[in-house]
Amino acid sequence: MLFFFIAFVFLTFLSVFLLFSFITLVRYQSFRKRKIVGPKPEFPFGNTRKSTLGIQNLIYDVDDSYQLYRNKGPFFGFFSNFRPFLIATDPEFIKFVTMKEFNKFRNNNTVINPTKDPLLARSPFRLKDDAWKSKRNETTPVMTPIKLKGIYPLVRDKTQHLIDYIKREIEADDTKIFDARNICTRCTCDTISSLLFDVDAKSFETDSIYYKMGEGLIRGVRNAVKSSMPFKKLPKQVENFFKTTAMTSVKQREENKIERSDLLAYFMYLKERKGISDLDLVGHCTTFFLDGYETSSLVTHHILYELGKHQDVQQKLREEIQQEGDDMSYEKLFELPYLDQVFNEALRLHPPLPFATRVCSEDVEFIDKHDHKFEIKKGDVVWVPLHSVQRDPDHFSSPLEFDPERYNPENGGTKPYAEQAVWIPFGEGPRKCPGVKFGNMQVKTAIVEVVKNFIVFVDESTVDSPRVGPKEYFNATGDKIYLKFKNVNENI
């Protein structure tokens, strides 16, 4: 009996192996017939053997092939295991997909079961077609300058928690080494928890439940990206926390008639005036918590890393900030040209998301600059490799160098690069990240306060050029970035 069982298992495995090998081969041959270049896949890895085995992040598997095929067509065929994708290499093709023919590429490539994961499924990033448009229209008004200006004092107030924490720690031990991602995430956790739930998350003082749930939310998103199966991705404990916290905050405000200019107030307005459901309100809170917690913290800690490595850049930025005095207004925050250059160069080297994805909804033809015709079929999934495009030497001189000077205002800032679709850290077109302006404010506020108060150094224990961790979805380094701080009025 045991022999037959083992034989059955072996034959089943062999059948599955041969079936998927055949499917992958057919798809690869289909690419070849369509004159789509690309590396030959190997089953079961496709072109992602190293990332599948946990040796490196997927962005490096993609980048390895990108370097080989970036000048051989507008895109190339690529297999993540047995799933085929088209990796964009030509900026004109990127504009074709994200803007010119947006209606044929309006949806992201995500699989979320709305019944099992109602909060994740309500994110504009994951919604499709008219549902995406409707949800995005609900969130856009909160990103206006007037709304953000009202929120800004709260952001500054909570950012002070980071400054106070660093000061306490270095007063106790001036050799203290800080985990950059940890302190930046705790800072954004304090900020976004205040704006959404009107609470003090106390991320720097205790083992905060808000911080724990933020990490749980990141794990849920990572699960959603790594698996295409329609199973529950967000831990139940995390889901219940956000539901309970959001609705408790709403109830307290309604009962006590509390008025406060923040994100929760706007979502309560949507509930009262637009008739969104309680679950939709919680969904908005969860989406903004994710963006304000993880994305902003990653950008902040990458900027601090680059400033620590480039003391000349840091000093120039400090001088610009000091010229504005102690009271940095909302308007001035967005009028500092060098701060903007530093911010934009960090986004080029370290985009929060390494890819933008689009699914083709109907057959369409792309004609490149050489009048070569390429057919994109319904169901084809296009990846825009932000990491690779923004480090392409055809688009940026010395692409691996951190050089804010490339965005000098007299040269047009980022505009020439954005118009070419080679500087696109938040995506491009109608599906560009809707929280860009909020993230911009949140990150710049933190950077201004840190640089105004401290001299930042990268500790020698930090590896050179830290790489994105093998299991990460967001642009989070696997090797920790360690920083040191000195009060700005101290001698180096």
Q: What is the CATH number of the domain that holds 280?
A: 1.10.630.10
pLDDT of residue 226: 66
Same domain, residue pair 230 and 139: yes
| Residue 398 domain flag | no
Residue 187 buriedness (CB in 10 A; 0-12 / 13-18 / 19+): buried
Work out the average pLDDT over 287-308: 94
Phi and psi angles of residue 148, each rounded to the nearest 5 degrees, phi first: -65, -35
* Distance of alpha carbon 461 from alpha carbon 10, whole angstroms: 48
Is the pLDDT confidence value at 14 over 70? no
Same domain, residue pair 344 and 358: no
Work out the average pLDDT over 426-432: 86
Which pLDDT tens digit goes with each residue over 363-410?
Answer: 999 999 889 999 999 999 999 999 999 999 999 999 999 999 999 999
Whether the link from the prior residue into 153 is cis, omega within 30° of 0, is no
* Binding site, annotated residues: 433
Q: What tokens does 335 get?
A: 């009028």
Residue 27 buriedness (CB in 10 A; 0-12 / 13-18 / 19+): middle
Q: What tokens does 138 get?
A: 């609900």
Is the pLDDT confidence value at 15 over 60? no
Is the pLDDT confidence value at 191 over 90? yes
Is the pLDDT confidence value at 254 over 60? yes
Same domain, residue pair 67 and 127: no
Question: What does DSSP say about strands 381-385 and 355-359: parallel, antiparallel, or unpaired?
Answer: antiparallel
User: Using an 8 Å Cβ cutoff, are 17 and 68 in contact?
Assistant: no
| Residue 107 domain flag | yes
| Residue 204 domain flag | yes
| Residue 436 domain flag | yes
Phi and psi angles of residue 76, each rounded to the nearest 5 degrees, phi first: -135, 155
Is the pLDDT confidence value at 12 over 80? no
* Binding site, annotated residues for heme: 433
* Distance of alpha carbon 41 from alpha carbon 55, whole angstroms: 18
Same domain, residue pair 220 and 104: no
Same domain, residue pair 263 and 165: yes
Kindly list the distances between the CA atom of residue 439 and the CA atoms of 155, 308, 434, 442, 445, in Å, as whole numbers in the listed order.
11, 22, 10, 5, 10
Kindly list the distances between the CA atom of residue 6 and the CA atoms of 1, 9, 16, 339, 351, in Å, as whole numbers in the listed order.
9, 5, 15, 64, 48
Helix (H) or strand (E) holding 92: helix 91-95
Instruction: Calculate what percentage of the chain has a pLDDT beyond 70.
Output: 92
Q: How far is CA 300 from the centre of its chain?
A: 12
Phi and psi angles of residue 385, each rounded to the nearest 5 degrees, phi first: -80, 90
Same domain, residue pair 344 and 357: no
pLDDT of residue 248: 95
DSSP 174-220: TT--EEHHHHHHHHHHHHHHHHHH-----TTTS--HHHHHHHHHHHH
Lowest average pLDDT, out of 108-117, 308-317, 369-378, 399-408, goes to 108-117
Is the pLDDT confidence value at 334 over 80? yes
Degrees, nearest 5: CA angle 278-473-355:
95
Is the pLDDT confidence value at 122 over 50? yes
| Residue 404 domain flag | no
Same domain, residue pair 136 and 102: no
Task: Give the count of domains, the chain.
Answer: 2
CATH number at residue 367: 3.30.43.20
Same domain, residue pair 321 and 374: no
Which pLDDT tens digit goes with each residue over 201-210?
Answer: 999 987 889 9
Output 243-247 pairs: Cβ under 8 A, ≥24 positions apart.
243/119, 243/279, 243/282, 245/197, 245/199, 246/196, 246/197, 246/281, 246/282, 246/285, 246/286, 247/278, 247/281, 247/282
For residue 152, the enclosing domain spans 122-348+428-492
Question: What does DSSP say about strands 83-88 and 381-385: parallel, antiparallel, or unpaired?
Answer: parallel
Same domain, residue pair 319 and 441: yes
Same domain, residue pair 385 and 471: no
pLDDT grade, residue 492 (50/70/90)?
A: very low
Is the pLDDT confidence value at 184 over 90? yes
Same domain, residue pair 100 and 141: no
Question: What does DSSP say about strands 75-80 and 83-88: parallel, antiparallel, or unpaired?
Answer: antiparallel
pTM: 0.92
